[in-house]
Amino acid sequence: MLRFDSIFKNPKPVIGMIHTEALPGTPKYKGSVTGIIDKAVREASVYSNAGVDSIMIENMHDVPYLNRSVGHEISTLLSIVGYEVKNKTGLPVGLQILAGANKEALAAANSAGLDFIRAEGFVFAHIADEGFMDAGAGELLRYRKFIGAEHIAIFTDVKKKHSSHSITSDVDIAETAKAAEFFLSDGIILTGKSTSEETALDEVKSVKETVSLPVIIGSGVTFDNIEKYFDYADGFITGSHFKENGFWQNGVDELRVKKFMERMFRLREENL
């Protein structure tokens, strides 16, 4: 857990999601770069003030996503957003660039002084919304070495949401996580089948028993179910639950964030 432990100050860190407004060149872009940056910084301040441990930035409004590659108009702006969020909050900050643009995310994170990225398509192949996505661990880790970004952790999805895994149906999630560990992942991310869907607790337990890496829950964590995951997961990525009415497309709801973090503080005091 070396990179994980060096990034997060508190045990069982909560990572709050910032979904940037649609970026330049994408169908839903509204024409204001400064507006995108300003909104991200405002939401980061909400998270910081509520005691969230870390922030992750993602271009989820950039639908439809490209497969494995984005242009400089995306990666450069996300680097600026990441720098501003990190500068404003001082928290650990991560980045994911959809869909599967892991090298671009790593480069942007390195330029912005960020701490980690979330990578999909790390081991094994799957069919995503965007089409076939092959494994990319070898290329990604060689690129990290090449650009001198080895301080940046790479947390990796296995059996990723919004995807078909029929071509690897004979490989269970624990074996997939084991392969990611063998290929030098810094942490395993587990999700439900789609955004905001609960992660299966039996899968969390199985992966935790199989690998020595940190296990991070990447979808479906809420105020009502955090307690059942607490003993088995090492971290929690929370997006939809922190938004107005629990819907990912909405802005961050300060009251929802504070309520959730108050429960997390109590759980830490009672169990750690």
pLDDT, tens digit, 9 for 90 and up, residues 98-147: 999 999 999 999 999 999 999 999 999 989 998 899 999 999 999 999 99
Q: Is 189 left (phi over 0), alpha (psi -120 to 50) or beta?
A: beta
pLDDT of 61 strictly over 90 = yes
**Which of 228 and 162 is assigned the larger pLDDT?**
228
pLDDT of 78 strictly over 80 = yes
**Mean pLDDT, range 55-84, rounded to an integer:** 97
Tell me, what's the pLDDT at 163? Answer: 75
Q: What is the mean pLDDT of the chain?
A: 95
Tell me, what's the pLDDT at 36? Answer: 98
pLDDT of 95 strictly over 90 = yes
**Mean pLDDT, range 42-67, rounded to an integer:** 98
Lowest-pLDDT range of 37-51, 161-175, 179-193:
161-175
Of the pLDDT bands very low, low, confident and very high (cuts 50, 70, 90), residue 225 is very high
Hey, where are the domains in the chain? 2-261
* pLDDT over 70, % of the chain: 98
Sheet of strand 163-164: strand arrangement = 131-133, 126-128, 163-164
pLDDT of 254 strictly over 60 = yes
H/E segment holding residue 131: strand 131-133
Tell me, what's the pLDDT at 166? Answer: 83
Tell me, what's the pLDDT at 261? Answer: 98
Tell me, what's the pLDDT at 1? Answer: 59
pLDDT of 195 strictly over 70 = no
* pLDDT over 90, % of the chain: 90
User: May I ask the CATH architecture of the domain 2-261?
Assistant: Alpha-Beta Barrel (3.20)
DSSP state string for 17-45: EEEPPPPTTSTT--S-HHHHHHHHHHHHH
pLDDT of 19 strictly over 90 = yes
Q: Which residues contact 163 (CB under 8 A, 6 or more apart)?
A: 126, 127, 128, 129, 133
Rounded-to-integer distance, Cα 216 and Cα 156, Å: 9
**Which of 241 and 165 is assigned the larger pLDDT?**
241
Query: Can the peptide bond before residue 99 be classed as cis, meaning omega within 30 degrees of 0?
Result: yes
**Mean pLDDT, range 221-234, rounded to an integer:** 97
